Amino acid sequence: MQATAASCRAMLMAAPASGQGKTMATAALARVYRNRGLRVQAFKCGPDFIDGMILQVATGKPVYNLDLGMCGEADAQRLLHKAAQDNDVILLEGVMGLYDGKPSCADIAERFGIPVALVLNAKAMAQTCAAVAYGLYGFRPALQRAGVIANQVGSEGHANMIKEALPTDIPWLGAMKYDTQLSLPERHLGLHLAQEITDIDQRIEAAAQLLGQDMPLPPSVQFAAPEQQAITPLLQGKTIAVAKDAAFCFTYQANLDLLQTLGAQIAFFSPLHDTQLPAADAYWLPGGYPELHLERLQHNHSMREGLRAAAESGKPILAECGGMLALGETLNGQPAFGLLPGSAALQPKLQGLGTQHATFSAADNSATGDDATTIGAHTFHYARFDTDLPVIAQGKGKYGAGEPVYRHQSITASFLHFYFPSNPALAAQFFMP
């Protein structure tokens, strides 16, 4: 039976640039609606992991990513349609500026007819906020104008100056007063993890109170039903153990969902805290911050030996970005797990950034079809990994060759974070002998 379209109130929270306060504003608005008893589903535009963790605290639900480049239009349509069926409000947090990237979050808004709200940091301006909003909306007139949220205003009078300067066709949604207690700490890969900010829930609630409990609901949007996707359960009966702790935390919920759709059982373990590697058919070490927890990892000898035994016995191991760094011989000059020949070190400047598509040779997977050997991914890291390992696949971005994918024993390793739903059959091969 063909699924029908689903309607839900929806809005995309965008800004002129990074650093405007989109994450906290989106989290605060989600909490405002949730406090009214509404079911709220948040999405993060682009490949970011960390902002979604903040939004998950605000909504109480896993957050999914929408990226027309890495994930694809069909995946976005499927996720939005399902969210519209199960929720009262959908909120999307944009990435960088409204028009940054090809495709951008403006492309998502236009493709699915989602109204765009602008979050503007008003700390050093007043009426000029209206001009910024006018210019952003006018750059692409087809975008629906949800309105403006002024962030970091100094007073009610300051907010009123912005409100009164707005053209009549740009709605005023509200303002958040400046409060140093609401700022979120950052490091080299973005905001601190939600679990590291001990009072994150209180900060979100305080921001919601500042935004005000009378915030209007977004307009209703109709989301077309996606085409039915047939997925063969290639991992039926398999158990995949996934590293999950402060050192290994960059995991897309959509990836976990897909592994279960493929028939796998998911078991989580902590290379930081567990003394034994759990029994499983395959292992996945996603990205994260192993460099911040290297001393604890170094001393977890039983975990290292467990992973070594798994690799030597031929059990598949996928190591992405931080997972690869942890499995190398050294990290920042200190001993690491030593399963991969190679040394890693963080650099002062960014070493990799952007969406890529990794292409594998037909010999490296059993999928079929025109795009059977290609999978969506992204990279964002400050580290170098020097190795002589053989390259079995190569990422490709908008500006040419991207990150290599290495193979050693049963380990597949790369700086790339793969998006499994972009090629389910190929993703399954990462966890099959």
| pLDDT (tens digit per residue) in 23-69 | 999 999 999 999 999 999 999 999 999 899 999 999 999 999 999 99
Q: Which of these, 56, 36, 412, lies nearest to 65 by C-alpha position? A: 56
What pLDDT, on a 0 to 100 scale, did the predictor assign at position 191?
65
Q: Mean pLDDT across the stretch 266-272?
A: 98
What pLDDT, on a 0 to 100 scale, did the predictor assign at position 229?
85
What pLDDT, on a 0 to 100 scale, did the predictor assign at position 234?
97
What pLDDT, on a 0 to 100 scale, did the predictor assign at position 369?
43
- pLDDT-derived band at 368 (thresholds 50, 70, 90) equals very low
What pLDDT, on a 0 to 100 scale, did the predictor assign at position 196?
75
What pLDDT, on a 0 to 100 scale, did the predictor assign at position 367?
42
Percent of the chain with pLDDT over 70: 94
Has residue 2 got a pLDDT over 70? no
| pLDDT (tens digit per residue) in 318-327 | 999 999 999 9
Residue 144's alpha-carbon distances to 104, 112, 113, 114, 340, in angstroms, are 15, 11, 7, 7, 50
Helix H or strand E encompassing 371: none
Mean pLDDT is lowest, of 74-78, 226-230, 290-294, for 226-230
Pairing of strands 64-66, 40-45: parallel
What pLDDT, on a 0 to 100 scale, did the predictor assign at position 370?
41
For 300, counting Cβ atoms within 10 Å of its Cβ (0-12 exposed, 13-18 middle, 19+ buried), the class is buried
| pLDDT (tens digit per residue) in 81-129 | 999 999 999 999 999 999 999 999 999 999 999 999 999 999 999 999 9
What pLDDT, on a 0 to 100 scale, did the predictor assign at position 400?
78
Has residue 12 got a pLDDT over 60? yes
Q: Cα–Cα distance between 15 and 148 in angstroms, integer?
A: 10
Q: Which of these, 339, 294, 289, lies nearest to 317 by C-alpha position? A: 339
Q: What is the DSSP letter of 144?
A: -
Has residue 371 got a pLDDT over 60? no
Q: What is the DSSP letter of 181?
A: G
Q: Which of these, 231, 227, 228, 251, lies nearest to 240 by C-alpha position? A: 251
Domains, the chain: 6-223 (3.40.50.300), 239-429 (3.40.50.880)
- The answer to whether residue 321 is catalytic is yes
- Whole-model pTM: value is 0.93
What pLDDT, on a 0 to 100 scale, did the predictor assign at position 187?
58
Q: Cα–Cα distance between 430 and 27 in angstroms, integer?
A: 34
> What does the buried/exposed string (b/e) look like for 204-242 if buried means 16 or more CB atoms within 10 Å of the residue's CB?
bbbbbebbeeebeebeebebeebeeeeeeebbeebbbbb
Has residue 310 got a pLDDT over 70? yes
| First and final C-alpha spacing in the chain | 37
| pLDDT (tens digit per residue) in 157-178 | 999 999 999 999 999 999 999 8
What pLDDT, on a 0 to 100 scale, did the predictor assign at position 199?
85
| Residue with the two structure tokens 């979100």 | 204
Mean pLDDT is lowest, of 78-87, 145-154, 366-375, for 366-375
Q: Mean pLDDT across the stretch 141-154?
A: 96
What pLDDT, on a 0 to 100 scale, did the predictor assign at position 182?
72
Mean pLDDT of the residues in the chain = 93
